[in-house]
Amino acid sequence: MKRKIFDFTPLTAAVTLLAYTILLSFTGIAFLTNGHPPLPGILFLLLLISLLAVLWYYILMAPTISPDGARHGKKFIKKENIHYDIFYNRRIREIQIELSDKTIRYTQLPETEIQKRCIYVQATRANLRKLGSYLECEMVIPEEAKRKGRKKK
């Protein structure tokens, strides 16, 4: 059975879809009420194309776990070779789960090559639960990952 690991929270998805709905409705109304001028029509098409691109990337291209292993695009890691790490990513300010292959020596690879071979997802409760049941372990966010994002008093 295949399961998708979505890289967003339901709140983020709701806010994004609401923003697209509002923008598409405003440009659609402007297009219909102003006698079909080209600018609102072009904006409407660009927004629609960007919405389809966002849906394609975050929903259709989401990382998938199956009995064989984990897949994200062309990246594939066999189930028995999966190693996970949970850490705080300072650049995007969120806690992430990194799925890597045990058979590859990452210490000898440059950083760009490591990022090409690993699968990264946001550490939401749903993702921790799905990956924990998949890997048959309990996934818990480490304390040092929780503290990295907060300022020390």
Q: What pLDDT, in 10s, does the model give residues 12-69? A: 888 999 999 998 888 888 877 877 678 777 888 888 899 999 889 888 888 988 889 9
Q: Residue 153: inside a domain, yes or no?
A: no
Domain containing 50: what range? 3-60
Amino acid identity of residue 7, one-letter, is: D
Q: Which residue has the higher pLDDT, 39 or 110?
A: 110
Angle between the 38-55 and 10-33 helix axes, to the nearest 10 degrees?
160
Q: Is the pLDDT of residue 143 over 80?
A: no
The total number of structural domains that make up the chain: 2
Q: How confident is the model at residue 148 (pLDDT cuts 50, 70, 90)?
A: low
State the pTM of this model.
0.73
Same domain (yes/no): 83, 116: yes
Q: How far is CA 64 from CA 42, 79, 115, in A?
A: 35, 12, 18
| pLDDT at res. 102 | 92
Q: Residue 152: inside a domain, yes or no?
A: no
Q: How far is CA 36 from CA 22, 32, 39, 50, in A?
A: 19, 6, 9, 21
Same domain (yes/no): 34, 53: yes
User: Which residue stretches of the chain are H helix?
Assistant: 10-33, 38-55, 111-117, 125-135, 143-147
